[in-house]
């Protein structure tokens, strides 16, 4: 292997073979040939002088692409489509006169891009839902395990480990909805001609507009689409790319948020991503177990988010029926959006299948904060036992400040409970303290919310992808 040139890490380190194939030259140019065959079949059906033997000749050479010859032709002509027309024609001499008949370059270029977008969206959707399924299993397992909630990244009212996970899942379900909407509404460019007027095809069919309309419908069906865009310029509107890349950028924000949470929890030693037996966390600090998978997801997610502006700016600068300054940008933006999303979702699936929870660490953190949070419950119990609320409030305030000083100034554990037990004022409720300080009484309906969420929101989505969800263990190559 030649290591002297640039190679994208998306293809050498991160993205799956399936997604890479969709953006490969082999898939692209064999799809061009399939589109030329679809066009010829439809034109033959509608009465143009094309024979079945010509179509058979083309079909026998769909995958047989002479890449060196095509590169040499493109170098001479400076035109990628015509280079492949010439090479295909040499391989199919009897079909040469009817290859690309009536079409413009965007017939193969744009329609292939839409086929790639369709198939890539299908692949991403299965990835998203596979992560949802794995995370939902985790959420159900830990739906009742209390943990500190955080607002402003400061300890707040308790939640549960499973309930927090449902917040990540809910965002992913929004991404599934967005991607599925795009997939269901994606159309074909179809057979529209040089500037979208279908003039060349109208000429081929001697002015019969009904046959031109039928041609567009036939090719659209042959390509596996239900509908084509009713009007185009030379290209399909780059607004389609904006919507697709926007949805992937939104998915990026979801992944970044979740993996940032995991990184914070790993820092607190409450939760840990999978860590292999031979994995090295640091070249200098052998004890470290860095959350490298979550960090990778965040890195890729940021790239997904930044590509959003590329698609929007490209659409904004398409003058009239089209300009070619979209081409180089789209080669980068569309492929890298999908490859980055694919790579981050595969990594996220690996994480979600092996999240490790440390209940004892979580419990210790709860006990450091819970006495403060339970202050109101202590007051209410004293009032029920006949105490004066204002007197009790003042005593709790003083004891809380004293305990807080032990924590902040002396680095000791929170001893508020011991101070309450040592104060004779609270003798009437000492027998209730264990119940008052039971963490599970502070989590509200968190556990029930997880169950309801699974039944009402998650299961209906999973049912739509029955048989497609990846449940086998995902291994990362690097």
Residues marked as catalytic? 152, 282
146 in Cβ contact with 158 (< 8 Å)? yes
DSSP SS3 for 188: strand
> What sign has the CA pseudo-torsion 269, 271, 275, 280?
negative
Minimal CA–CA distance to 478: which of 279, 274, 272? 279
Q: Give CA–CA dist 15/234, Å, rounded.
A: 32
Strands (E), 203-327: 271-272
Minimal CA–CA distance to 217: which of 202, 203, 228? 228
Residue 271 has a CB neighbour count (10 Å cut-off) of 24
10 Å CB burial of residue 401 (0-12, 13-18, 19+) is: exposed
Q: How far is CA 477 from the centre of its chain?
A: 20
Residue 3 has a CB neighbour count (10 Å cut-off) of 5
Angle at the Cα of 59 from the Cα atoms of 58 and 62, rounded to 5 degrees: 90
Q: Give CA–CA dist 395/382, Å, rounded.
A: 11
Structure tokens at 349: 């699936």
Q: Give CA–CA dist 435/220, Å, rounded.
A: 68
Minimal CA–CA distance to 252: which of 139, 339, 184, 138? 339
Structure tokens at 52: 């079945």
DSSP SS3 for 385: coil
Query: DSSP label at 456?
Result: I
Residues near 471 by Cβ (< 8 Å), separated by ≥ 6?
130, 133, 134
Q: Give CA–CA dist 83/69, Å, rounded.
A: 8
């Amino acid at each position: 292997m030649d290591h002297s040139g640039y190679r994208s890490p998306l293809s050498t380190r991160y993205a799956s073979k399936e997604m890479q194939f969709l953006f490969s030259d082999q898939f692209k140019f064999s799809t061009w040939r399939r589109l030329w065959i679809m066009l010829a079949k439809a034109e033959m059906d509608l009465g143009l002088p094309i024979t079945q033997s010509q179509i058979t000749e083309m079909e026998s050479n769909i995958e047989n692409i002479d890449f060196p010859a095509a590169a040499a032709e493109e170098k001479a002509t400076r035109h990628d489509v015509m280079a492949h027309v010439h090479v295909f024609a040499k391989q199919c001499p009897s079909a040469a006169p009817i290859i690309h008949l009536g079409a413009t370059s965007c017939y193969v270029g744009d329609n292939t891009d839409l086929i790639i977008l369709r198939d890539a969206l299908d692949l991403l959707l299965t990835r998203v839902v596979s992560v949802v399924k794995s995370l939902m299993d985790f959420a159900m397992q830990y739906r009742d395990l209390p943990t500190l909630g955080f607002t402003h990244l400061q300890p707040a009212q308790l939640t549960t480990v499973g309930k927090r996970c449902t917040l990540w899942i809910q965002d992913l379900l929004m991404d599934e909805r967005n991607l599925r909407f795009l997939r269901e509404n994606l159309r074909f460019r179809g057979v529209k001609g040089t500037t979208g007027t279908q003039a060349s095809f109208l000429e081929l069919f001697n002015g019969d507009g009904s046959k031109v309309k039928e041609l567009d419908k036939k090719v659209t069906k042959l390509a596996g689409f239900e509908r084509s865009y009713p009007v185009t310029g030379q290209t399909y509107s780059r607004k389609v790319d904006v919507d697709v890349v926007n949805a992937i950028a939104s998915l990026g924000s979801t992944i970044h948020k979740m993996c940032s949470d995991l990184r914070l929890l790993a820092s607190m030693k409450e939760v840990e991503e999978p860590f292999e037996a031979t994995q090295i966390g640091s070249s200098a600090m052998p004890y470290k177990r860095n959350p490298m998978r979550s960090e990778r997801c965040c890195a890729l997610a940021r790239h997904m988010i930044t590509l959003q502006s590329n698609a929007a700016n490209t659409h904004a600068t398409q003058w009239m029926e089209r300009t070619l300054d979209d081409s180089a940008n789209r080669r980068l933006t569309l492929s890298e959006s999908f490859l980055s999303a694919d790579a981050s979702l595969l990594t996220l699936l690996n994480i979600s299948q092996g999240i490790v929870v440390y209940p004892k660490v979580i419990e210790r953190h709860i006990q450091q904060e819970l006495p403060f949070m339970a202050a109101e419950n202590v007051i209410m119990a004293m009032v029920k036992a006949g105490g004066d609320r204002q007197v009790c409030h003042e005593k709790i305030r003083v004891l809380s400040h004293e305990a807080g000083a032990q924590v902040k100034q002396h680095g000791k554990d929170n001893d508020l409970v011991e101070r309450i037990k040592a104060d004779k004022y609270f003798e009437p409720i000492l027998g209730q303290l264990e119940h008052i300080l039971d963490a599970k009484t502070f989590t509200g309906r968190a556990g029930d919310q997880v169950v309801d969420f699974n039944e009402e929101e998650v299961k209906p989505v999973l049912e739509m992808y029955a048989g497609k969800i990846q449940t086998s263990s995902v291994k990362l190559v690097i």
